[in-house]
Chain A
Amino acid sequence: MKTNQYANVIETHKVKPKIVKNMADSFFFGGLFGLVGQIIVWINTNVFQLDEGLSVTYMIIVMILAGSLLTGLGIYDKFGQIAKAGALVPISGFANSLTSAALEGKSEGVFLGIASNMFKLAGAVLVFAVMSGFFFGIIRYLLVQIGIAPALDHETVAFIIGGCLL
């Protein structure tokens, strides 16, 4: 069989990624995360009488706790196969990458296994967060000095401090 014929055969038998279905799954489960998070915020403000910033903080903590526990129980990875990016992008995906890397190294002990393996996957996120935060932080600082970008609106900061903690 000629090489180009072979390439054609390969092309017809290739499994096409189901882009639309995957996106719909991610949309549904990602949206569900947002909705559940907002319901937790609502409960925190209206049932536990916390202020706006603190109730978001506790919502983030609950989500991280849920992500770690479900990873430990082995449920989050199965859920991730259904939800795809819907399980990866929310903050519980960050908790999942920490916990699964730590669990993987457990056989090597607490210090060399759990502690030093924990940031194997999530370390990249922190490095890029610092790099991009520094880069865009300097850009915004200079733009604020010139007067192009808006200075920090302190009404928003009061809402966001304790608010978007991660």
Chain B
Amino acid sequence: MIFFWAFIVGGTICAFGQFLMDRFKLLPVHVVCSFVAIGAALDVFGLYDRLIKLAGAGAQLPIMSFGHSIVHGAMDAAESQGLIGIASGMFELTTVGITSAILFAFISALIFNPKS
């Protein structure tokens, strides 16, 4: 069942992004940045957690999950350290993603040549 919901939720989020781009003439960067902010906003009342429990990778692959896990790491550290935890824990959960993105981007930029 989680496979079905992964398809539906992942597809719906992407279709919503395409709708914003076509209807309001937005650039890709606007859509991606606002999705990150939407993901952070949905975590205020823990709504995105429920979506992840329902759809698994369908909710974790879209960029919304980036904003969600930034707030999540911040709240996790804020529980033990107080307000400063928001700053110190912000990237706690996202480090693996950012590190591997930089690593693989650097390596493939060294290996490959630009096509156009």
Chain A contact residues, CB within 8 Å of chain B:
17, 19, 22-35, 37-42, 56-57, 59-61, 63-65, 67-69, 71-74, 77, 84-86, 88-95, 98-99, 102-104, 106-107, 110, 114-115, 118, 121-122, 124-126, 128-141, 143-144, 149-153, 156-157, 159-166
Interface residues of B in 1-58 (CB under 8 A from A): 2-3, 6-15, 17-19, 21-23, 28-29, 31-37, 40-41, 43-46, 49, 52-53, 55-58
Taking a contact as CB atoms under 8 Å apart, the answer to whether A72 and B68 are in contact is no
A31 and B41 in contact, given A163-B60, A164-B69 (Cβ under 8 angstroms): no
Instruction: List the 3 closest pairs (A to B, CB-CB), nearest first.
Output: A166-B97, A34-B10, A30-B14
Q: How far is the CA of A64 from the CA of B104 in the complex (A)?
A: 8
Q: Which B residues lie at the A interface, using CB under 8 A?
A: 2-3, 6-15, 17-19, 21-23, 28-29, 31-37, 40-41, 43-46, 49, 52-53, 55-63, 65-72, 74-76, 78-79, 83, 86-87, 90, 93-98, 100-102, 104-115
Query: Could you say which of A72, A129, A132 contacts B111, with CB atoms under 8 Å apart?
Result: A72
Contact of A27 among B15, B37, B44, B75 (CB under 8 A): B15
Inter-chain pairs besides A128-B34, A159-B53, 8 sampled, C-beta below 8 Å? A37-B56, A37-B61, A72-B109, A89-B13, A90-B62, A133-B70, A152-B72, A152-B76
Taken together as a complex, chains A and B put the C-alpha atoms of A40 and B71 apart, in Å, by 26
Contact status B90-A121, CB under 8 Å: no
Contact between chains at A34 and B97 (CB < 8 Å): no
Give every chain A residue within 8 A of B60 (Cβ-Cβ).
37, 56, 59-60, 163-164
Please name the residue on chain B nearest to A75 by beta carbon.
B115
Residue of B53, B58, B74 near A133 (CB, 8 A) is: B74
In the complex, which residues of chain A have a beta carbon less than 8 angstroms from the beta carbon of B62? 30, 89-91
Q: Closest approach, in angstroms, between the C-beta of A155 and any C-beta of chain B?
A: 10
A35 and B71 form a contact (CB under 8 A):
no
- The answer to whether B90 touches A137 (Cβ under 8 A) is yes
Contact of B57 with A19 in the complex, beta carbons under 8 Å: no
| Contact assessment for B8 and A31 in the assembled complex, using a CB-CB cutoff below 8 Å | yes
Q: Judge whether A139 and B57 touch: CB under 8 Å.
A: no
Measured between beta carbons, the chain A residues less than 8 angstroms from B12 are: 27, 30-31
